[in-house]
Amino acid sequence: MSVSHPTQEQVDAILWFHSIDLGGGVVTKGLSQPQMPEDQFPSFAGRSVLDIGAWDGYYSFMAERLGASRVVALDHYAWGVDMVARGEYWTECIARGELPDQSRDVTDFWLPELPGRRGFEFAAAALGSKVEPRLADFTTVDISELGVFDVVLYLGVLYHMKEPLTCLERLRSVTKGVAVIETLAVHLQLLEHSSLMQFYGAGELNHDFGNWYVPTIDGLHALCRAAGFSSVQTVVGPPQPQAPKPEPLRARVGRRLAGLERPDDLSAPSELYRAVVHAFV
Ligand SMILES: C[S@@+](CC[C@H](N)C(=O)[O-])C[C@H]1O[C@@H](n2cnc3c(N)ncnc32)[C@H](O)[C@@H]1O
């Protein structure tokens, strides 16, 4: 059976991050669900596209299908790191109460044969795709050599960055039209319009030691502007506020007597969600 007409069995032998329709009823069973719908993207027609952190390439193939003139799919960690070995090391670190040495990703855990790129290569062959894979760490790659693109996708990457502003400056440098940034964001009730970043220094976010900063939507806008983008549009913003539960009369009277005006401030809930913005040059 050739890869141009893959069977579900062939596809299931690969560990997928994305769910990609390969045609003929064969769909990869990705860990990431759901994927972003097409209406959250700008037009790709006739435009050059760079997909940073492409992994299996779902969004690269989407851009190509929607008429992009050229698509480059860039990735690094997901393609080359031995996730199983690293996961075992992280588990040992947690048991010892230590933080992992992240530099081991590109030394002890680096697999030059790039097993994590198998999904991308398989899907590209099955789809007859011309998307160009590019193995590079976006934080260190020579940007002048990478070139500039009309549309740059930065999806699910920002919270993995130790230096988010520097990374957004690099993103701005490779963008000549619009960057689509999708990221975990935090909604802090009663601080809705504050420009803030939550910091996770010890793997508290999804047990992933590679997750660092999570901005509020205003923080995300401010970061993009500081990085040199001229305007920023929210495509997916914070969840709609919940109507506050009415406070029982006894509690309200008790609070007044104790001189407390807004005790809710001390326990205002926060909610993580996935924000999407378009940042224009
Ligand atoms: C959460 S996944 C998101 C994958 C895809 N963009 C999506 O939204 O479905 C994060 C991706 O960013 C990649 N990544 C993280 N840091 C990177 C870096 N410095 N350079 C290139 N890719 C990076 C990871 O390897 C991984 O494929």
CATH code of the domain covering residue 120: 3.40.50.150
Give 34's DSSP letter. Answer: S
pLDDT of residue 255: 64
Residue 75 Cα to ligand 1 middle (Å): 6
Q: Which residue has the higher pLDDT, 31 or 247?
A: 31
Query: What is the torsion angle, in degrees rounded to the nearest 10, for the CA atoms of residue 116, residue 12, residue 209 and residue 175?
Result: 60
Radius of gyration of the chain (CA): 22
The residue range of the domain holding 77 is: 33-240+269-280
Whether 278 lines ligand 1, by a CB cut-off of 6 Å, is no
With 0-12 / 13-18 / 19 or more C-beta atoms within 10 angstroms meaning exposed / middle / buried, residue 171 is buried
Between the alpha carbon of residue 80 and those of residues 14, 55, 91, 154, the distances in Å are: 15, 11, 20, 19
Q: In this structure, is residue 15 part of a structural domain?
A: no
* Ligand 1 pocket residue status of 208, Cβ below 6 Å: no
In a domain? residue 37: yes
CB distance 125 to 6 below 8 Å: no
Cα–Cα separations (whole angstroms), residue 170 to 22, 140, 177: 33, 9, 14
Token readout for 219 is 């923080």
Quick check: is 14 in a domain? Answer: no
pLDDT, residue 277, reads 98
Query: Model confidence over 127-162: pLDDT tens digits?
Result: 999 999 999 999 999 999 999 999 999 999 999 999
Distance (angstroms) between ligand 1 centre and the Cα of 183 equals: 11
234 in any annotated domain: yes
DSSP assignment of 47-96? -EEEEET-TT-HHHHHHHHTT-SEEEEEESHHHHB-HHHHHHHHHHHHHH
Calpha distance 93→45 (Å, rounded): 47
Q: In Å, what is the CA distance from 234 to each residue of 94, 175, 216, 272?
A: 37, 18, 12, 16
Q: What pLDDT score does 2 carry?
A: 59
Per residue, the 3-state secondary structure of 103-132, as one string, reads HHHHCCCECCCCHHHHHHHHHHHHHCCCCE
pLDDT in tens, 222-263: 999 999 999 999 999 999 876 667 777 777 677 667 666 554
Band of residue 5 on the pLDDT scale cut at 50, 70, 90: confident
| Residue 109 in domain | yes
H/E segment holding residue 167:
helix 164-173
Distance in Å, CA 242 to ligand 1 centroid: 32
pLDDT digits (tens, 9 = 90+) for 79-132: 999 999 999 999 999 999 999 999 999 999 999 999 999 999 999 999 999 999
Per the document, the length of the chain is 281
Report residue 100 as tokens: 């992992």
For residue 55, is it within any domain?
Answer: yes
Residue 93 tokens, joined: 């670190």
Task: Report CA(74)–ligand 1 centroid distance (Å).
Answer: 9
Tell me how many domains the chain contains: 1
Whether the CB of 75 sits within 6 Å of ligand 1:
yes
Ligand 1 touching residue 109 (CB < 6 A): no
Say if 251 falls within a structural domain: no
Distance 162 CA to ligand 1 centre (A): 13
Q: What pLDDT, on the 0 to 100 scale, is given for residue 119?
A: 98
Tens-place pLDDT, residues 160-208: 999 999 999 999 999 999 999 999 999 998 898 999 999 999 999 988 9
Chain-centre distance for alpha carbon 58:
13
Residue 72 counted as domain residue: yes
Q: Is the shortest distance between the CB of 137 and ligand 1 below 6 Å?
A: yes
